[in-house]
């Protein structure tokens, strides 16, 4: 009973941190209430919100006083200290990152990191989990812009299924996936959805797929006016459009050399871009490196040949982004230039080899073309690799298993909180530019410190209502501590942590950390809260990942998320961000 009673005493710590009290007194000039004019000055001078007006401050006061006191704007025009503290803890009024699309969206697609999903239809592991349209819907609602569908003939060869090839994944019909994509494509973002198709279809079924997409997407699907684009359209050009990316089908008017089977135009039966180990025979590897074996069924042509050619031409015109592989070697794939645009796909281990051997060429390739990286076949549990390995070299499409929960996916979520969560993040200028002697960005180079980020962790609250008590020790309140750090280029990576706050549901740390950054444009701020639980493993208690370049200075409310990246209701930290 004593333990339970002492825990209750530690349940509510409502007093604001000393910094909050100090800034309140400073801007109220020692008074008990903060007016709209005083709040506006605080927002400009402390929070760095240079475009805020007194009218904006009045709206904040109206909302806070109405929520806390049910007082209308006609009765009260100011905040007391507790009201001000409540405002600072408000997720939607005082969020930690820029919440609007604010980057230039008129550059070619190759200038952006694109929120990309791998095997987007799988509900679980890569071997026997169900294929469904539900993961597609979830991804689109989260802001994912590039989805992958593996297209296979059904058993009677007259219909199209989506499934993971050479596995035991129960399939879903293509038409169901396309309808769900249409319904949710622009629920979170107006910018284009890219469908990367792993095509194992006969020409007749390719034509059928094209007809399905035309019928379902109608004017949403993008048709290329010219098959010889010299540069990609921009996200702005492609707003509310569905863009198709796959290998060009055989039998179109385009030359065979442009097809997925070989970006260099040569033919080969070997994959010399693979690691020295044997290539894993996954469906994706087979498609990316061997072409479509089913295409040989063209021999059944007959009197429908002319109609089939026209249907294939329609299918071909849908493909804005032709895809390719490194069949004739990594170097040739990265340096070959036919004057057009393309997408190159590499497994994660092949990409690692490419960066080790041809790092400069990788950067140069991504300045004009799209580079997609996908997980190696041994990740059967749908785990993920470290996304920064791709982003540091300009890879736009770092394809992730969105059901593979863990720190790697948290980083992916964090990166794409940038730019209003629209799914397209503009690459820093230094990744797109060349020096006077043609030199490009080298992520392995030792660089000078560009800025210093100071992060202060004041306190947290919400675990008593937003977390199941069963997640923590049954007999006592949690002993929370926070891990704070940076992930990015190798020279910027570091993790630090606060002291433990013992036996309280509302921990108060009031600790500051300093991070010296060489490439802040690519850095993410990692925040994790854990419950110290010796001798057992510490309990996970929430996390978030925030793009450093998008942090809003000042005292901010920082919402936390669970392992899957879903918002933990009411669980929030109060933090301060300053750049020097």
CATH number at residue 426: 3.20.20.190
**120 and 150 part of one domain:** yes
pLDDT of residue 230: 86
| pLDDT score for 272 | 34
What is the pLDDT at residue 328?
80
- pLDDT at residue 315 in the model: 84
DSSP state, 111? Answer: G
Of 164, 200, 413, 530, which one is the catalytic site residue? 164
Q: Are residues 233 and 134 in the same domain?
A: yes
pLDDT score for 260: 33
260, 282, 289, 374, 381 from 127: Cα distances, Å: 25, 10, 21, 16, 8
**Judgement on whether residues 575 and 516 belong to the same structural domain of the protein:** yes
**pLDDT score of 479:** 94
Least confident of 127-136, 178-187, 319-328, 386-395: 319-328
Q: What's the pTM value of the predicted model, to 2 decimals?
A: 0.89
Q: Using DSSP, state whether 235 is helix, strand or coil.
A: coil
pLDDT at 303 over 80: no
CATH code, 46: 1.10.238.10
Whether 56 and 132 share a structural domain: no
Range of the domain at 423: 111-247+382-431
- Residue 173 φ/ψ, nearest 5 degrees: -70, 140
pLDDT of residue 4: 41
CA distance 318 to 214: 9
pLDDT recorded at residue 471: 53
Both 228 and 157 in a single domain? Answer: yes
Domain closes at, from 400, 431, 462: 431
pLDDT mean across residues, the chain = 87
Q: Does residue 261 belong to any structural domain of this protein?
A: no
Residue 566: CA atoms inside 13 Å, Cβ hemisphere, count?
A: 6
* Residue 546 pLDDT > 90: yes
Q: What is the pLDDT of residues 188-198, one digit of tens each?
A: 999 999 999 99
Residue 133 within a domain: yes
Residue 138 lies in a domain: yes
Least trusted range by pLDDT, from 177-181, 333-337, 574-578? 333-337
Within a domain: 348:
no
Residue 70 a catalytic site member: no
Q: What's the CA gap between 152 and 126, in Å, rounded?
A: 16
> Please, is 149 exposed, middle or buried when counting C-beta atoms within 10 Å of its C-beta (0-12, 13-18, 19+)?
buried
Is 164 among the catalytic positions? yes
Let me know if residue 131 belongs to a domain.
yes
pLDDT value at 155 more than 90: yes
Domain boundary among 398, 431, 464: 431
Length, in residues, of the chain: 580
Query: Tokens 């408000």 belong to which residue?
Result: 90
Looking up residue 558, the CATH number of its domain turns out to be 2.60.40.150
Report whether pLDDT(258) > 70: no
- Do 120 and 80 reside in the same domain of the chain? no
Question: Are 68 and 84 contacting, i.e. CB atoms less than 8 angstroms apart?
Answer: no
Mean pLDDT over residues 203-218, rounded?
A: 94
pLDDT score of 206 more than 90: yes
Among the ranges given (198-202, 261-265, 429-433), the one the predictor scored with the smallest mean pLDDT: 261-265
* Residue of 69, 77, 118, 200 marked active site: 118
* 463 and 566 both lie in a single domain: yes
Quick check: is 267 in a domain? Answer: no
Sole residue written with tokens 């979520």: 413
- Of residues 279 and 213, more confidence is placed in 213
pLDDT at 273 over 90: no
191 and 45 within one domain: no
Question: Please, where are the H alpha helices in 143-282?
Answer: 174-184, 203-217
Count how many domains the chain has. 3
Please say if the pLDDT value at position 536 is more than 90: no
Same domain, 420 and 389: yes
Same domain, 509 and 538: yes
475 and 396 assigned to the same domain: no
> Which of 55, 89, 123 is the last residue in one of the domains?
89
- The CB-based long-range contact list for 377-384 (8 Å cut-off, 24+ gap) reads 377/126, 377/280, 377/281, 377/282, 377/284, 377/285, 377/347, 378/280, 379/126, 379/404, 380/125, 380/126, 380/127, 381/125, 381/126, 382/122, 382/124, 382/125, 382/126, 382/129, 383/408, 384/408, 384/409, 384/412
pLDDT at 270 over 50: no
Q: 565 in a domain, yes or no? A: yes
Same domain? For 456 and 568 the reply is yes
Mean pLDDT over residues 10-22, rounded?
Answer: 79
For residue 280, being part of any structural domain is answered with: no
Per-residue model confidence as pLDDT tens digits over 60-74:
999 999 888 876 555
Give the confidence band of 475 by pLDDT, cuts at 50, 70, 90. Answer: low
Reading the block at residue 552, the tokens are: 């809003």
Instruction: Name the pLDDT band for 327 (thresholds 50, 70, 90).
Output: confident
């Amino acid at each position: 009973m004593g333990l339970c009673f002492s825990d209750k005493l530690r349940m509510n710590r409502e007093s604001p941190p000393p910094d909050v009290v100090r800034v309140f007194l400073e801007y109220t000039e020692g008074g008990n209430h903060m007016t709209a004019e005083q709040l506006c000055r605080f927002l400009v001078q402390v929070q760095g919100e240079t475009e805020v007006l007194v009218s904006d401050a009045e709206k904040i006061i109206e909302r806070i006083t109405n929520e806390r006191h049910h007082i209308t704007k006609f009765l009260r025009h100011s905040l007391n200290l507790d009201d001000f503290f409540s405002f600072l803890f408000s997720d939607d009024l005082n969020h930690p990152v820029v919440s609007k699309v604010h980057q230039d969206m008129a550059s070619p697609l190759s200038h952006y990191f694109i929120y990309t999903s791998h095997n987007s239809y799988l509900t679980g592991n890569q071997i026997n989990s169900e294929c469904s349209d539900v993961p597609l819907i979830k991804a689109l609602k989260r802001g994912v812009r590039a989805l992958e569908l593996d297209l296979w003939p059904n058993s009677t060869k007259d219909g199209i299924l989506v499934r993971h090839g050479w596995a035991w994944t129960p399939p879903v019909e293509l038409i169901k996936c396309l309808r769900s994509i249409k319904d949710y494509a622009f629920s979170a973002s107006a910018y284009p959805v890219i469908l990367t198709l792993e095509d194992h279809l006969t020409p007749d079924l390719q034509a059928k797929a094209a007809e399905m997409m035309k019928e379902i997407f109608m004017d949403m699907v993008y048709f290329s006016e010219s098959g010889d684009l010299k540069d990609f359209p921009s996200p702005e050009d492609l707003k509310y459009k569905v863009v198709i990316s796959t290998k060009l089908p055989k039998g179109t008017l385009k030359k065979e050399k442009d097809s997925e089977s070989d970006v260099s135009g040569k033919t080969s039966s070997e994959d010399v871009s693979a690691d020295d180990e044997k290539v894993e025979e996954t469906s994706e590897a087979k498609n990316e490196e061997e072409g479509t074996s089913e295409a040989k069924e063209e021999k059944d042509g007959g009197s429908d040949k002319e109609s089939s050619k026209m249907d294939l031409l329609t299918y071909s015109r849908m493909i804005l982004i032709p895809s390719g592989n490194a069949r004739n070697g990594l170097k040739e794939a990265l340096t070959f230039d036919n004057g057009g645009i393309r997408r190159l796909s590499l497994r994660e281990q092949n990409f690692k080899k490419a960066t080790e051997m041809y790092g400069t060429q990788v950067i140069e390739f991504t300045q004009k073309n799209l580079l997609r990286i996908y997980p190696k076949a041994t990740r059967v549990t749908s785990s993920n690799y470290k996304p920064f390995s791709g982003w540091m070299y300009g890879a736009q499409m770092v394809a992730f298993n969105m059901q593979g929960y863990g720190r790697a996916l948290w980083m992916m979520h964090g990166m794409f909180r940038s730019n209003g969560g629209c799914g397209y993040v503009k690459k820093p200028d230094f990744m797109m530019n060349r020096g006077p002697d043609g030199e490009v960005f080298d992520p392995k180079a030792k660089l000078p410190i560009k800025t210093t980020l100071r992060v202060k962790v004041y306190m947290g609250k919400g675990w008593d209502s937003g977390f199941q008590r069963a997640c923590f020790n049954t007999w006592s309140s949690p002993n929370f501590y926070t891990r704070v750090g940076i992930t990015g280029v190798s020279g910027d990576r570091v993790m630090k942590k606060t002291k433990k706050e013992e036996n309280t549901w509302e921990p108060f740390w009031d600790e500051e950390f300093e991070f010296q950054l060489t490439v802040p444009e690519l850095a993410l701020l990692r925040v994790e809260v854990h419950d110290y639980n010796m001798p057992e493993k510490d309990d996970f208690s929430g996390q978030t990942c925030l793009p450093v370049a998008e942090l809003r200075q000042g005292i901010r409310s920082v919402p936390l998320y669970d392992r899957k990246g879903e918002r933990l209701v009411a669980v929030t930290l109060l933090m301060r961000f300053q750049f020097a």
